[in-house]
Homo-oligomer: A and B are copies of this chain.
């Protein structure tokens, strides 16, 4: 029976999600969620073969039944452990189009992915947290040690705070996600759960963007550095919770 606190990362492809998984796997057994196992298999293998512990589960976060079943599997595997951290990093689910060319399904896709997906994730994740009664390191009832307050982090984007031409679907989804993050921070913060929202403002340096060339060097966000900021947020004590942090390359216009 597992007894160490563990972490769950949702939305793990070869980019930011994989880096966050690697970072949290230094301290916790981790579960990674993605629709397509191809997306997470290599990082799961990498972690397991380098001394960490990782499990991949295929699920579509916008499907509440599927998510519930994934979490039954997680609860069975980590029975007796408490959840240390959870990260919602799902992307996709939207198209970039002139507004009048969007179908209702395309428009709603942003919310399906970012709103409903985050809702399903949060509803399953929150009951697994057991915040300590004081700010100091404690031993929980189940005998597990918890060094940092339980943490739920959501990944935002430029479109979380700005709606733009052709981005109605994505912006509607990302705005809704930020609304959810604020609502949860204000409801669960006082219960000792750290809810945070990170605005990623720029192009991330991932396989898909390898060919995108910029005038300046280092013009893309580094997934490893993003992961370090997520980890930093996780380590903050409940006296000093950060809610929102915006990250961008030094040359980004904003």
Contacts and interface: CB of A to CB of B under 8 A. Distances in A.
A249 B194 CA distance: 10
A221 B250 contact: no
User: Size band of the A side of the interface?
Assistant: 35 or more
Contact of A108 (B115, B173, B194, B239): B115
A208 interface: no
Interface core residue of A99, A116, A192, A247 (most chain B CB under 10 Å): A99
A209 interface: no
A217 B136 CA distance: 11
A163 interface: yes
Instruction: Tell me the number of copies of this protein.
Output: 4
Given A168-B180, A241-B250, A250-B190, A126 B99 contact: yes
Interface in A161-188: 162-168, 171-188
Contacts of A74: none
Given A108-B115, A111-B115, A163-B184, 14 more contacts: A104-B120, A108-B111, A108-B116, A135-B217, A164-B183, A165-B183, A166-B183, A166-B187, A168-B187, A172-B176, A190-B216, A218-B238, A242-B246, A243-B248
B190 A171 contact: no
A21 interface: no
Interface in A191-224: 192, 194, 205, 216-222
Contacts of A139: none
Classify the interface of chain A: helix, strand, loop or mixed: helix
A176 B111 contact: yes
Contacts of A140: none
